[in-house]
Structure formats: structure tokens, C-alpha cells
A and B are shown apart, each in its own frame.
Chain A
Amino acid sequence: MRRKPRDADYYRQQLLQGDRVALARAISAIENERADTRAVYQAIAGHANRAHVIGVTGAPGSGKSSLVNALIQEFRARGQKLGVVAVDPSSPFSGGAILGDRIRMSDHGADPGVFIRSLAARGHLGGLSRATARVVDVMDAAGMDIIIVETVGTGQSEVEVMEIAQSVVVVCAPGLGDEIQAVKAGILEIADILVVNKADLPDAERTARQLRDAAGLASSRDDKVPIVKTTAISSEGVAELMQYLDDRFAGFDEARRSDAALERMRKIVTGAASHRLSEWLQRLDTDEFDTICNSVLRGELDIDDAAIASARLALTIESEKD
């Protein structure tokens, strides 16, 4: 038994009014690409691109979820509505997942002004799930003022969040030995704000110093990336972080915001297109395709050329089906 699909009118009436059940169903529709996925898109068209989207990334255990919890507190105190998307990895073996981020956000379990959704990465690399960008749009359309996206937290190559968030917060913490690793993984370059969390621990100052050096080296941008020390579990430093976030968002005029929307849409369309193409390639079952593959086996064609040839072939076949 799965829930029955809804039409665009339902989503227009319920989702855009901020109905929580409708929002949850819309997110599932997008994640699972069900019969009513298109209805959701129709309903939200023209209603997104309003919220401040904040990405929170960094090494596992650095305190991302705890920091999100503290941020929720502050934003709620100002009466703003929040959506939170927390992504955790899926098991490569079973496809299942344990989504445990919200255990650290349980101060807000019954607050109607906060909507938290846990997503499994479902095999997608880069720190998010394939549907994350669109889930953000749906939350935006449902009237969230702030949308926080917590990435998987491998601390490695999680640069995708940059494409969907206007502000990227990279969280580090003492004792994880991740400063250098973060530099290697290119994580520091995506930071708009660097946070040294667990400032209550003795080594925090040293971590901040290392980070300052590393960020100086890593940053190719002329604007200096601020470094904020926080203690998420007591909210120390979180007000300062909020100040930086507010300043950034205030600097986002219409033009920059629609640039960001365009960037996000490129990402979404690219993702959808490559998904389509791989589907088409999987359906390829022609002599022509076998000829290409055999040429590679015989060493007459390299894989890259074969890939291009098969993509062209698939494209031709599919467009003839129209």
C-alpha cells in the first residue's frame, strides 16, 4: 500500500498555504518520482526563490546538527518559519538508511513553525540526494523564510551544496584532525562562513588558527571568509553567526537571487537530463550498440569515444519514438 497520488489543485490549495501533510507528501512525490511529481512542479511554479537557503556542511561529528538546532532556536525567536533538510548516507548494500540527524534537533519536535525532513542520499554522491534541490524549492513555495540544508557529512567533496545554498557554512571542530583534510577536499573553498564549533573544548583556538591559515591559502576570492567560534550546545557564538548570515542575505538583491535560481535550475535540469540519458542507454539493445562495445573490446575505440557514440545513438533512437 502506498498513498494515492494527488493532483496539482490539491498541491496548489494545500501546499502553497503551508499545510504540513501536503508539504510532506509533495517531498515524497519528488523523491520517488511518482505519478504526482509533475503536479507538485505545476503547483509550485513561480512560487519559489524567496527563502534564504543556508547550507551546513563539514566533517562527521563536528556538530552540524547541533548547530542547526541552535540556529532554529534563533530564527524562531524572530518569528521566522524554517525548513530543514538533513541528508544522511544510504547503505550501498541494502539501499536502506539510518537517518539520525533530527535526534539533535529534538528541541523543535512539536513546533509548527519548523519543518524538518530527513533524506537518504540514495546513492547520490556529493553530500546531497538527487532530489535535494527540488525539495528546497518545495519548502520555499510552502512559505519557509529560511531553509537549512545539512549535508551528509563525510567532509569530502561535498561541494554540491554550494549550488543550492546562498550561504554555505562549513563546520570544523577541534579533535577531529580534519583541518588539512578539509583543505584537500576543497571544502574550504566553498565556505561563505567558517565555523569552529565546540569552542568550549581546549583546542578550539588552535583549530581556528590553523583554519585561518588554511583558508587564507585556499581562498581564491578577494572577500575574506569570516571565521566564527561557536558552542552549539549552549548557543554561544550563534548570534554572531546569525549576524553574518543576515548580512549575506541582505546583500542578495533580486538579480543575484535570480542568478542563484538559474544556477540551481541548471543543476536540476542537468541532473534530470543525465538521469534520462542513462535510462535511455540502459534500454539500448541494438546491433549498432554491440558494434560500438565490441570495438572497445578489440581496442579499436576508446571508452570516451564509445560513450559519445552510444549517447548519440540513444538520443537518435529515442527522438524517433516521438
Chain B
Amino acid sequence: MSFDSIPIHVVPPGEPGLTGNAPPLLRELLEMVRRLLETGEPSAIDLSALPLTPADLDWLRDKLGTGEIGVTLQANGESTLNETACPGVWWVTHHNEQGAVTSQFIEVAFVPDLVKAHPRDVEIGSEYLELLVSDL
């Protein structure tokens, strides 16, 4: 059954506009990017932990722009890890299986951790390859 069949339509109350909470985040990002360059240390901002309205988020996304790489991860719902126009700055959104956003981050890293394969998983992969080779 879809929600459309429920005769209550929830009218979103007028979109609250910009709060002014987004611009300081750009400064913080600059610090984070510098730190990444100097020490290689990755970091992240948890967007759901901040009082940001949808308008704030749009503003931020718009400012950061779209980069060359977009990664889609299918793991218990879809996640997208999109590089912004600033290389090393990634916009990360996690959805659950119902498609709802469960958390949202801006990650500063050369490659987000989630994208890298874990050595233990690579081992499992190599075992599988060995199996394939032995069947040749």
C-alpha cells in the first residue's frame, strides 16, 4: 500500500529559509582541507547534528558544486558519496532500505573510508580468485 491511499495529505509548513548557519561551515571545511593536506588526517562534519534547514543544505551544496566522481553504494539501502567541486571534499548521504535519509555528512578525505576495500575483504576476494584459477 502506498502512502497516497491514505487520505491525509501532510502539507509541509512553509519552508523555513536560510538561517545563516551554513556559511561558517565553509570556514570549517577550509580548516579541514588544510589539515588533510598537511597531515593526511581525514575528518567529517555530521550534517544531521547541526541546525540546518533544507534551504541551508541547498545553499551549501550549491556553493560546493559537483565534482568528477560519484560513488553509489548498495548496502542496506543506497548511499551516495559524491565529490564536490573541491577535490577531497565529499558529500555523503546514507539512505535506509525504505529510501529515507538516515544520516548525512561532509567528509574531507582523499578517498572516503567507505569506498576503500578492507584488507580482510580483499583476502576473501583472493580466495575466490584462487578457486576460479584452480578450476581453469
> Does chain A bind chain B?
no
